[in-house]
Each structure stands twice: as structure tokens, then as C-alpha cells.
Amino acid sequence: MGDLPPDLERLRTLETWLVLSLDRVREQIAAVERPAQPQRAPRPPAAARPARPRRTPTPDWGISAVGIGEPVAEIHRGDCFAGGRTLRPVSAERARAELADGVQACGVCRPDRVLNRP
């Protein structure tokens, strides 16, 4: 330990220099290792990417025609699987009015339980 300075001030200076040197060495190691890692292709800007078709948002309520021969209208929640692909979105007010006019409520999702609440 005879090669180090004896006073605290010079020891602190040496410590600072060693820390800075170690940081530079680590930065150089990282720079050398970077090319060895597989490169990812840069993503094209959003304007260059093809647009994805947007999904139609799920309606809160819907009306569909069910039955064989003589279709009967039925009110569904928007996420009800029994509504099928013929589900036409309607507002809550329209669904309430249809239920009040005698349109049948779906037996699976039971929209009448929610729509008829005060």
C-alpha cells in the first residue's frame, strides 16, 4: 500500500478518477457488445404501416330477429352470444320502449332485469 497517497484529499481525488475511468471502460464494453446482439429491424412509421380494420364496438343493447319461418324480435344485451350476427344496436331508451311494446326479452342475458329498474 506504499504506492497510494497518505492524505485523505488525494485519496478522494484518486477514487473519483478511478470511478470515472471505470464508467468509461463499462461504456466501451457495452459499445463493443452491442453489434454482437441480434439487431431488430426498425418499425416503420405509423403512416407507412397498413391500417388494421377497426372492430365495431360492442353495443350496450341490441335487437335481433329470431325464429324459423315467422321471425320474432328479441332484445339482447350487446355482449349476449344468443343475439347472433343479426343483432342491431339500439339505445337503452329504445330497448325499454320495445320491451314496453311487448317485444320479447332474451332468456339468456335477461335485459329486462336491467332495463326495467327504476
Q: What is the pLDDT of residues 71-93, one digit of tens each?
A: 788 999 988 888 777 788 899 99
pTM: 0.51
* CA 97 – CA 16 distance, rounded (Å): 79
| Residue 77: burial class (beta carbons within 10 Å; 0-12, 13-18, 19+) | buried
Element (H, E) at 103: none
Band the pLDDT of 39: cuts 50, 70, 90. low
- 49 falls in which pLDDT band (50, 70, 90)? low
Grid coordinates representing 86? 343479426
Q: What is the DSSP string of 9-56?
A: HHHHHHHHHHHHHHHHHHHHHHHHHGGGSPPPPPPPPTTTSPPPPPPP
Half-sphere exposure of 96 (CA within 13 A, CB side): 8
Model pLDDT for residues 101-114, shown as the tens digit of each residue: 988 899 899 998 88
Identify the pLDDT of residue 55: 75
